[in-house]
Amino acid sequence: TAFMAGISGQFYKQFALTIAASMLISATNAMTLTPARAVATFGHRDPTLHGKGHEHDAREALPWWGVALLAGWLANVLLGGLLGQLLGFKAGTEAWALFAAIFLAGAVAGALAARPVNAILGSFFKGFNTVFDRITKAYGWFIGKTLRISVVVLILYLGLLALTGWSFTRVPVGFIPIQDKGYLLVNYTLPDSASLERTQEVTEKLEKIARETAGVEHTISIPGKSIVLNANSSNYGSMFIVLKPFHDRKGHEEAGLVILGKLRQRFAREIPEAQVAVFPPPPVDGLGSAGGFKLMIEDRGNLGLQTLAGQADNLAEQGNRQPGLVGLFNSFQSNTPQLYADINRTQAKTQGVDLSEVFNALQVYLGGYYVNDFNAFGRTWQVNVQAEAPFRLKPQDVTNLKVRNRDGEMVPLGSVAVIRDSAGPVSVTRYNTYPAAAINGGSLPGVSTGDVIAIMEQLSETTLPAAMTAEWTEITFMQKQAGNTAIFAFLGAVVLVFLVLAALYESWGQPLAVILVVPMCILSSILGVALAGMDINIFVQIGFV
């Protein structure tokens, strides 16, 4: 259910519960094994007593343990933006887990002091302490030798710090990874002014290919409308590909992203008459209509719509040539064939025809007009009027349409208007008040969103003229806005934890023994991420904090 719900508050709470479960396990282990180790190792006590009399010391440390964790979370909650909200979901859930962990740890702190347990496990503890003593002595010997060459150790530590910083620059950076949410989105575009009948034919071919693919349940098609572009046109179309439930999709071959790759290849090979792009769902509901990225090309120098369309086409073409990028397209066209109704206002006034009547006639006959609703058969039906297709096929048919003048006479539109060929955009989008063209695209598996941003920004700088600029929107804009805020959250958490430990130990030096190991933990985490072929996305950043 977490994947079906997408990246939402519920998802992050479930993610936090996973971390909270590990906290409970760690609390149990720490409060039962640590006192025993301390007593048996340093106090030379009988292992069968196993911490007898020291449960109170363990319980006294619990509040400070909780304060240290809360101090680390406080830095997360104070962050703003999308990252702050996501960390807030995690911190809220883990706060409840913290209180549960403290209660559980306190309850079981003296569990191993019970004599029945000691009698049963005494031999085990004795053997364990023997092995642990040897390890402790070996470790102490190694530390003693190492401290004699403290300069070498310091240089080695500084080298590991440098390696940690270098690792951050080498591992790809992402934001919110794409999730299998049980459906895919297809956007297809035919040549300009293609009829709805041609779009319907392409729709049927796409549906057939999709339903033949393993793991697909059914499809929902909307010819004439682009969900990705939020525009209506006879040559546009959208299709939702609903995948089978997760428990019915067996193996890696039926994973959502694998099905997406197969469909991209078949659509490109078998549907040459249309430009077809397949997108995953948006990782965050409400931030964009589809996955992938969206780049807005703005005409800030008033170079004209034709120049804007040409530059956007060129940038999309250059992007498709880059390794790792796929499916880039620009939907903005400035020379779409159109018919222009040149109305002679003087002639219309002479014949007593109101301009509102002319415009209403064009809308009713050619576009359609809503009249009212009526109830029948237990349903509500709409009444919309429109001319039959045979009476609006040719431009000459428009001039034969008639409107009523002020005297009640019917006047043909051809007497007050001339229909001539023209060209222009279907719609013009403005972004930040400037005319803009949107470039949509995606990336192949293994290519992080950070790499995509770097590639497209470099192409924009070298390809676009000085009077045009490129700006990110939707989820990529949120990633750019977040920037390196996770680093500041991590540093703030480290500082707060250090202050809490300084108050606990009543010393500024002893907490450094805990804090100095943090960079080494980060280095180990980065190496794990790199070996797994992953990027430093928001889940990894939450894990760092």
Q: What is the dihedral of CA 524, 530, 536, 537, to 10 degrees?
A: -120
Q: What six digits make up the tokens of 419?
A: 């229909």
| pLDDT over 70, % of the chain | 77
Q: Does 489 have pLDDT greater than 90? A: no
Which of 120, 142, 169 finishes a domain?
Answer: 169
Q: Does 317 have pLDDT greater than 70? A: yes
| pLDDT: which is higher, 184 or 30 | 184
Question: Residue 376: which domain range?
Answer: 336-424
Q: Can you list the alpha helix ranges (DSSP code H) found in 281-416?
A: 305-320, 345-350, 355-362, 395-399
Report the distance separating Cα 314 and Cα 78, nearest Å.
Answer: 43
Three-class SS state of 131: helix
Q: Residue 15 has what pLDDT? A: 55
Helix (H) or strand (E) holding 224: strand 216-226
- Mean pLDDT over each residue of the chain, to the nearest integer: 80
DSSP string, 453-515: HHHHHHHHHHHS-TTEEEEE-HHHHHHHHHTTHHHHHHHHHHHHHHHHHHHHHT-SSTTHHHH
Mean pLDDT value across residues 527-545: 80
21 lies in the same domain as 139: yes
The number of distinct structural domains making up the chain is: 4
Amino acid at 61: A
Q: Residue 19 has what pLDDT? A: 58
Residue 490 included in any domain: yes
Q: Yes or no: say if 47 and 127 are a contact pair by the CB < 8 Å rule.
A: no
Which of 424, 451, 471 finishes a domain?
Answer: 424
Q: Does 117 have pLDDT greater than 70? A: no
Instruction: Mean pLDDT check: name the lowest of 22-31, 305-314, 353-362.
Output: 22-31
Residue 446 included in any domain: no
CATH number at residue 197: 3.30.70.1430
Instruction: Mean pLDDT check: name the lowest of 133-137, 199-203, 484-488, 524-528.
Output: 484-488
Which of 273, 289, 305 finishes a domain?
Answer: 289
CATH number at residue 414: 3.30.2090.10
Q: Residue 366 has what pLDDT? A: 87
Q: Residue 70 has what pLDDT? A: 64
Amino acid at 458: Q
Three-class SS state of 317: helix
Residue 437 included in any domain: no
Residue 6 included in any domain: no
Residue 312 included in any domain: no
182 lies in the same domain as 163: no
Q: Please report how the helices 449-463 and 474-482 are oriented relative to each other, as an axis angle in degrees rounded to 10.
A: 100
| pLDDT: which is higher, 504 or 526 | 526
Across 37-46, 61-70, 188-197, the highest mean pLDDT is recorded for 188-197
Q: Residue 118 has what pLDDT? A: 55
Report the distance separating Cα 541 and Cα 489, nearest Å.
Answer: 10
373 lies in the same domain as 240: no
17 lies in the same domain as 132: yes
Q: Does 130 have pLDDT greater than 90? A: no
Query: Over the stretch 204-261, which tens digit does the pLDDT of each residue have?
Result: 999 999 999 999 999 999 999 988 888 888 889 999 999 999 888 888 888 888 999 8
Residue 133 included in any domain: yes
Instruction: Mean pLDDT check: name the lowest of 45-49, 67-71, 263-267.
Output: 45-49
21 lies in the same domain as 144: yes
279 lies in the same domain as 395: no
Three-class SS state of 338: strand
Q: Does 48 have pLDDT greater than 50? A: no
Report the distance separating Cα 228 and Cα 327, nearest Å.
Answer: 13
Query: Over the stretch 60-114, which tens digit does the pLDDT of each residue have?
Result: 555 666 666 666 666 566 665 666 666 666 656 666 666 666 666 555 555 544 4
Residue 310 included in any domain: no
End-to-end distance of the chain based on CA atoms, in angstroms? 26
Q: Does 26 have pLDDT greater than 80? A: no
| pLDDT: which is higher, 40 or 223 | 223
Amino acid at 118: N
501 lies in the same domain as 363: no
Instruction: Mean pLDDT check: name the lowest of 55-59, 178-182, 484-488.
Output: 55-59
19 lies in the same domain as 126: yes
Q: Yes or no: say if 186 and 242 are a contact pair by the CB < 8 Å rule.
A: no
Residue 294 included in any domain: no
243 lies in the same domain as 356: no
Query: Over the stretch 431-472, which tens digit does the pLDDT of each residue have?
Result: 999 999 999 888 887 788 888 999 999 999 999 999 999 999
141 lies in the same domain as 185: no
Sequence-ordered list of residues with C-beta below 8 angstroms from that of 388, at least 6 positions apart, any chain:
none
Q: Residue 8 has what pLDDT? A: 44
Report the distance separating Cα 173 and Cα 224, nearest Å.
Answer: 38
95 lies in the same domain as 218: no
186 lies in the same domain as 285: yes
DSSP letter at 365 equals: I
